[in-house]
Amino acid sequence: MVTVNGEQQDTAGKTVSDLLSEMKLMPERTAVMIGGEILPKTEYERILADGDEVDIIGFVGGG
């Protein structure tokens, strides 16, 4: 199981890109952290593994 934004999900084996697509998030509007460390955009094809703790921030407009 992978923890995504605090919730357990059966997403092990999928890439970060896959996960973003499922969540309907555009990569250029997101920040992804795994285990509290930022994941560079060049590593979005990384395959998620059991035990990964993923935080996905999808930014919205306005400021």
The residues that touch other proteins, with contacts defined as CB under 8 A, are: 28-31, 33, 36, 38, 40-41, 55, 57-63
* Cβ 38 to other proteins shortest distance, Å: 4
Write the DSSP assignment of 27-55 as a string of letters: GGGEEEEETTEE--GGGTTPBP-TT-EEE
* Cβ 16 to other proteins shortest distance, Å: 13
Select 5 or 50, whichever has its Cβ closest to other proteins: 5
Select 13 or 31, whichever has its Cβ closest to other proteins: 31
Cβ–Cβ < 8 Å for 45, 8: no
